[in-house]
Amino acid sequence: MTDGAIRSIVVVGGGIVGLSAALAFAHALPQARVEVIETPSDPAALADRMPSTLPATAHFHARIGIDETELIRRGIALHRLGTRFEHWSADGSTWIHAFGDYGRPVGGIGFHDLWLRARRARQALAYDRYSAAAMIGEAGRFVHPEDDPRSPLATYVYGLQLEPTGYRSRLLDAATGAGVFISPGAVAHVEQREGGGLGAVLLQDGRRAEGDLFVDCAGPRGHLISSVDESVEDWSSWLPVDRLLVGETTSTVAPASLDAAVATSVGWRWAIPLPERRAFGLAFRSSETEAARARRILSLEEEGAHGGETVAIRCARRPRPWVRNVLALGDAATAVDPLHGTNLSLAHSAIERAIELLPGRDFHPLELAEYNRRTEQETLRVRDFLALHYLRSGRTRGEFWAGLGKRALPGTLARTVEHFLARGRIPFFEEETFEKRSWVAAMIGLGLLPDHPSAMTGAVPAAEAARAMHAMAATLADLPRRLPPYSDYLTRMRRS
């Protein structure tokens, strides 16, 4: 170990985020001592209890040595191709936000530009009809993507739907196998060190945990990070959900690769397929809807939904998630509602960034400032992407939605919407979680369409583009017929 390197790390929070961080640090710093303090779980720590993931999770799992195929075989995970949205737009239509490409360029011109022109001429199918992931997921079929760029099976990617208990157990096994020390306990108070930062965490049983770096993964209350910086940036004016009714059903359901987000008069409800069961819930606002009413609504609209736990949340972020020797991850750093399942993926990304920018024991302000800057760029754009669905959906039916469309957008989201409505462009921002193709799909799905097509579409005659689009749609419409049902594919994977 070189002089000045971090020698000991204390992770507070023994949920999925804490174990993920501990395992990643153990791999990155094999000579450092890593300890996890398993504090009582926080119901509002959504990254720990609702672990849907985006496709980038595959890279994180490779970093920490988690075998995705093993998760599938052990019944811990399902593949996730995207989300089906119902009743979010002004016309109440259904659309799919799918992972991967929509269509293919024609004559060097981007597909979405050609689709927008064709739609104005009423010569285009729904945008998601040109997505392999959407067509496969909707039909209940699945195979792994191919490498052949000529194949439609090379045009999609996938995330995972993770069963929280089994996934945490797998992370725990991997962490202990990597030499991570696991200690149950509850934080009594923290001990400041001379010069700023933390010197130790004092537990209720009298133990004292010392370290060079303290990682706060215990949920949105952020006990450790709040001790060095109490500032919190509230996002509730843009992300209006402040209550979740969370439940699950153990009834036998066919495995699926699409989850669902259905807008209702009081907010929106979700249905997430998991191995052997289904998670469901309702996101709403407490100022308009009481928990008892939320339960009644959910029981009427979601088959098998009874009871459930009400969880208070606050969508917000810490402007400085890394302060001196305290690093906040997961909901301790950024708390958003479960729309699009970004919670755990944000934590994964932050862990990888922390390792990439890992400082020495002096925790030089220059290095921490760069981590905080890049994290801010990422989290603000996730906020923007989620806020788009609330503030520009066009839906006005129901007390939750009334007036949301009149709220001012955050500056970066306003810029994005303005560019898209002008000519279908998505401006560049650093550290985007959702790629351009996701932004385009969301804009179109929500009914936001440009005033004018891109001038570049003139390079491809409309008839030529129409023929190409027709061929694409026909190929994708026929694709599910040639693929196995997802349940059969899973059975073969688990037996192999």
CA distance 413 to 423: 16
Question: What pLDDT score does 496 carry?
Answer: 82
Half-sphere exposure of 412 (CA within 13 A, CB side): 17
Per-residue buried b or exposed e for 344-376, using 16+ beta carbons within 10 Å of the residue's own CB: bbbbbbbbbbbeebebeeebeeeebebbbebbb
- H runs (alpha helix) in 180-248: 223-228
CA distance 118 to 222: 50
First-to-last C-alpha distance (Å) of the chain: 42
**DSSP bridge partners of 33:** 8
Question: What pLDDT score does 370 carry?
Answer: 98
Q: Are 310 and 243 in contact (CB under 8 A)?
A: yes
Q: Which of 419, 389, 424 is nearest to 119 (CA)?
A: 424
How would you list the strands of the sheet with 316-317, edge to edge? Answer: 233-234, 316-317, 334-335
Is the four-CA dihedral 69, 71, 77, 81 of positive or negative sign? negative
CA distance 177 to 353: 24
Beta strands 187-192 and 181-184, pairing class:
unpaired
Per-residue buried b or exposed e for 432-446, using 16+ beta carbons within 10 Å of the residue's own CB: bbbeebbbbbbbbbb
CA distance 194 to 315: 33
Q: Which of 307, 314, 319 is nearest to 331 (CA)?
A: 314
Element (H, E) at 248: strand 243-249
User: Length of the chain, please?
Assistant: 496
Helix, coil or strand: residue 110:
coil
Full pLDDT tens readout for the chain, 496 residues: 345 999 999 999 999 999 999 999 999 999 999 999 999 999 999 999 988 999 999 999 999 999 999 999 999 999 999 999 999 999 999 999 999 999 999 999 999 999 999 999 999 999 999 999 999 999 999 999 999 999 999 999 999 999 999 999 999 999 999 999 999 999 999 999 988 899 999 999 999 999 999 999 999 999 999 999 999 999 999 999 999 999 888 766 789 999 999 999 999 999 999 998 889 999 999 999 999 999 988 887 766 666 689 999 999 999 999 999 999 999 999 999 999 999 999 999 999 999 999 999 999 999 999 999 999 999 999 999 999 999 999 999 999 999 999 999 999 999 999 999 999 999 999 999 999 999 999 999 999 999 898 999 999 999 999 999 999 999 999 999 999 999 999 999 999 8
Q: Which of 338, 331, 314 is nearest to 222 (CA)?
A: 331
Question: What pLDDT score does 2 carry?
Answer: 42
- H runs (alpha helix) in 282-402: 291-301, 343-356, 365-391
Amino acid code (one letter) for 372: N
Q: How many CB atoms lie within 10 A of CB 251?
A: 10
Element (H, E) at 469: helix 462-478
